[in-house]
Structures are given as C-alpha cells and as structure tokens.
Amino acid sequence: MQFLKEHSHWRILSDFWQDADMSIPLLIQFILCPVVLISLVWVTAPYGRHHEKGWGPNLPSRAAWILMELPALLVITTLVVLSPVRQMPQAWVPLLFWLFHYGYRTFIFPALMRPSGKTFPALLVLFAIAFNVLNGYNNAEALISAGKEETRLLSLHFFAGGAIFLAGFAIHFRADRSIRLLRRPGEKAYRIPQGGLFRWVGSPNYLGEIIQWIGWAIMTWSLAGAAFALFTFCNLAPRAVSNHRWYRERFPDYPADRRILVPGIF
Ligand code: NDP
C-alpha cells in the first residue's frame, strides 16, 4: 500500500480526489457512467420499442415514468428545503431549473404520452429510482455547498449554463411533441418522425436532454452536475444507436443521411 501511495500515478489520483473533495456517492455516480455505457452497448434497455419478455414483472408506461422520476423531484427538494441554506439564491435558483424539468418529465410527459401499450420492466424502474435518489442527493449536496460557501450566483457560467439548459429543454420538449403527434390517441403504430432537428438526427429528444444537463453542469459549476451530464450521455447515446438501427431495419424509406445523435457528425 505504501508503495502504491508513493507511486506517482496513484498520488496524482488521490491528490485529485482530495482536491476535488469528492464524496463516496459522487464517486459511485462517476463509476456508474462507463459501467452503464458498456452495458448498454451490449444490451438495449428493454422498454418502449425495444421491450422484450423475460425481464420479470412489468408496469404500464405512464405509471413507470411517474414512479421513476418522482424521486428526482423529491430528494433534491427535501434536502435543499431542510438545509440551513434554503433561502440562499445559490441553492434555490438552480433548484427552480431542476423542478421545471422534472415537473415536466414526472407529470406532463406521462400525462400527454400516447404509448402503444408496451410495458416497462419493474427492474428498470427500480434501477432508475436508485439512480434518481443518488443523483438527487449528489446535486442537492452541490447546491447546499454553493449556498454555504456563498459562491457568486450571477456569474458568466450561471448565465451561459442557464441558456444552454433552456435550449436543451426546448429541443427535447419539441422532439417529444413531434414524436407524440405521430400517433392519434389510442393508435399503436410507429412512424418516421419528421421536421425540426429530425431532419438531421434520429434522436433529437436525447440530444436535447444531453445538452440540457451539460447546461446544468455549467450553471452549477459542480462535479455533481458534470457526473449527471456524463451519465445522461452514457445512458442515451447507446439507445440512440439502437433506435437508429431499429428504424433502419423497419423502414426502407428511413432517410439515409439522417445521423444518430449529433448533426453532421454522429
Ligand atoms: P421515445 O421517443 O422512444 O418514446 C417516447 C414515447 O413516444 C413512447 O410513448 C413511445 O411509444 C412513443 N414513440 C417513440 N417513437 C415513436 C414512433 N416512431 N412513432 C410513434 N410513437 C413513438 O423516448 P424514451 O421513452 O426513450 O424517452 C422519453 C424522454 O425521456 C426523452 O425526451 C428522453 O430524452 C428522456 N430520457 C432521459 C433520460 C436521462 O438519462 N436523462 C433517460 C431516458 C429518457 P412506445 O412506448 O409504444 O414505444
């Protein structure tokens, strides 16, 4: 152990960890990123169009979305509201951005969606709940420590990050809407989405979500924000690849020049 501690690479790593003041839950979240990326390259998460039998009991899609996302709303709000810095704008202003997104994702998105009746494995719901508790805790810690340290709120990174967050939200909100309008209520068919960013990529909803959480990381200037943005990419990029393949296999007229996730690049 002494040898390892004296070894320069080890020292750089342990110094970085100490300087970064990284908690164990945050370290776990960073470690989860490559694990999730590699797992999802091999196994497509079996919900929605990729649903498969053999993953245990299932839940209806709407209920699954509400159950999965509710902890993301509750954990951070409870921790910030119960903290002594709840009145500090460094804590509650970013919290409003978070609630804006999760209010939409937890209640409005499931209420408006037109699912085909495909169900959602309870196992995935449990995994998502565990992740949302961990992520909510880490991001609450970041907001609370910004409140305690009284970091300057109205900074360049706050405005730039906030603008990127809202741009990302607008992108995934619009893409979610375009996808929803592909079906009339009660319909089950899948169609090729058109218009907006779908002209260039197959999954602009995922692109918008990734952009939004990069904005959050910049706005809060926190490692917790960076861990969430990285996780979102690791979670959604492999699914965008699976969706692209899925469209190509089923729709011979799927636009050949449509990229997977990033216009003109990937
Ligand atoms: P999808 O677009 O695959 O599905 C959303 C809804 O649209 C489902 O009801 C689905 O029906 C329907 N749908 C999808 N494609 C078509 C089509 N071609 N024709 C008709 N209906 C269609 O998105 P996800 O469920 O994967 O994600 C939903 C949102 O949640 C996205 O905005 C995404 O960015 C976000 N998200 C964020 C994550 C994160 O890590 N931050 C993780 C996962 C999602 P059906 O159920 O019948 O397939």
Q: State whether the beta carbon of 232 lies less than 6 angstroms from ligand 1.
A: yes
Compute the distance between CA of residue 166 and CA of residue 45 in angstroms, rounded to an integer.
27
Compute the distance between CA of residue 97 and CA of residue 85 in angstroms, rounded to an integer.
17
Kindly give the number of the ligand 1 atom that is closest to the alpha carbon of 113: 9
pLDDT for res 130: 98
- Cβ–Cβ under 8 Å, residues 248 and 49: no
pTM: 0.93
263 Cα to the center of ligand 1, angstroms? 19
- Residue ranges with strand state E in 15-156: 58-59, 120-121
Per-residue tens of pLDDT for the chain, all 266 residues: 455 555 666 676 666 666 666 899 999 999 999 999 999 999 999 999 999 889 999 999 999 999 999 999 999 999 999 999 999 999 999 999 999 999 999 999 999 999 888 889 999 999 999 999 999 999 999 999 999 998 888 999 999 999 999 999 999 999 999 999 999 988 999 999 999 999 999 999 999 999 999 999 999 999 999 999 999 999 999 999 999 999 999 999 999 999 999 998 89
Kindly give the number of the ligand 1 atom that is closest to the alpha carbon of 117: 47
188 Cα to the center of ligand 1, angstroms? 14
pLDDT for res 117: 83
Kindly give the number of the ligand 1 atom that is closest to the alpha carbon of 61: 46
End-to-end CA distance of the chain: 43
pLDDT for res 257: 94
The token duo for 214 is 């990069």
* Alpha-carbon torsion, ordered 141, 142, 147, 149, to 10 deg: 110
Compute the distance between CA of residue 117 and CA of residue 187 in angstroms, rounded to an integer.
10
pLDDT for res 1: 46
Categorise residue 187: left if φ over 0, alpha if ψ from -120 to 50, beta otherwise. Answer: beta
166 Cα to the center of ligand 1, angstroms? 20
163 Cα to the center of ligand 1, angstroms? 24
Residues in the chain: 266
DSSP symbols for 148-162? HHT--SSSHHHHHHH
